[in-house]
Amino acid sequence: MSLKKRKKITIGETAYPEIELNQALDMVVSVKRAEGLRSRTLRDYAKDFGYFMKWLSKYHPDIKYVHELSPSIFRDHINWMKYDAKRYEGHKYSGHRDHGTGLSDTTINIRLRVLKAIFNQLERDNLIGVNPIEGVKTLRQDIDLTNCLTDEEVKAVLAQPNQREYVGFRDYTAIVMMLDSGLRVSELLGLRATDIDFQTRFITLTGEMNKNRQPRLIPISNHTLKLLLQLITENKNHFSTDRIFMSVNGEPLTDNNYNKRLKYYGEKAGISGKKMTAHVYRHTWARNMVLNGCDPFTLQKMGGWKDIRTMRRYIQMDTSDMRRSHDSYSPVNTLIKKRI
């Protein structure tokens, strides 16, 4: 059996293989899998590259090979995503509603970063001579100062779960846990009873549980510890697993189901204009830790941020935060006010 020879593209004095677009993803995924990327990340690669390929087949059906792409093609794609793409198209929870057009800058940048990662990898492996996405920039994003909950909003949300029922108590415990530890939703829902040291009040997250593969220790308060112990005890009476956050059917709670619960409690609490997801609680934890005096390096270690610049996006302060800090720390208030 003879193997089909791949054509060559010559740039200068170097010949590069002619790579079909539908092969590009497989080649990169093979590399990333060997590097140890998580299955979820690889699925995101396939999903976001699939969005691009679907758009390409509709608006540029003649393009079949990587070398036929150019920065202008990607900029066309950006403009289409920003102004013409249907929101939530193909999403399993979108239903039949018309959600309008134009994706958020955050969504566009996520998809662009995946495309950049794919073509950058092909370039690093010397499989392409010209990187077609080089020079294409992600969108500039305004800093969102509404992605944290106020103290009043937190209290309103905590008043919603019915703690006399299993689901309500589980949800209340999970919300308190997020506000106390800043765990990512995947870390929270993946917790097992064996991850908690009830003597030292530390949670141990192994590298495989963390986004950046780095193990970390996270302290928790006595109040949170008591809630967790009560939930674990309740679970033992009904489920044969040491997972902490379970559905009533004995299945591990999923990200989607948990975020739907958070949205439900946010609506019951009368909170509008904010995306009531687990990510908002992580932002709220980070901001409140800083406002209460936590130094940035300790916060970075507890939050599991590899780059302190990423952490800084979590602790944007609104005007009331700045006013409170200014009133507490201004030299005028501490040195001069006493003389007035």
Which H or E run includes 40? helix 39-59
Location of each CATH 1.10.443.10 domain in the chain? 151-323
| C-alpha to C-alpha distances, 187 to 154, 178, 203, 218, 265, nearest whole angstrom | 21, 10, 11, 11, 21
CATH architecture of 14-124: Orthogonal Bundle (1.10)
C-alpha angle 182/288/277, rounded to 5°? 50
Tens-digit pLDDT string for the chain (340 aa): 333 445 655 555 455 778 999 999 999 999 999 988 888 889 999 999 999 999 999 999 999 999 999 999 999 999 999 999 987 765 555 555 556 889 989 899 999 999 999 999 999 999 998 999 999 999 987 655 557 899 999 999 999 999 999 999 999 999 999 999 999 999 999 999 999 999 999 999 886 666 656 778 899 999 999 999 999 999 999 999 999 999 999 999 999 999 999 999 999 999 988 889 999 999 899 888 888 878 888 888 888 877 666 666 666 655 565 566 556 655 555 555 554 4
pLDDT per residue as tens digits for the range 56-74: 999 999 999 999 999 999 9
Q: Quote the pLDDT of residue 18.
A: 86
Q: How far apart are CA 247 and CA 194, in angstroms?
A: 19
Residue 55 has φ and ψ, to the nearest 5°, of -65, -45
Query: Which residue, 187, 98, 325, is CA-closest to 196?
Result: 187
Show the beta-strand stretches assigned E in the chain.
Answer: 8-11, 14-17, 196-197, 202-205, 216-219
* Cβ neighbours around 166 below 10 Å, total: 16
pLDDT per residue as tens digits for the range 188-201: 999 999 999 999 99
Task: State the fold for domain 151-323.
Answer: hpI Integrase; Chain A (1.10.443)
Location of each CATH 1.10.150 domain in the chain? 14-124
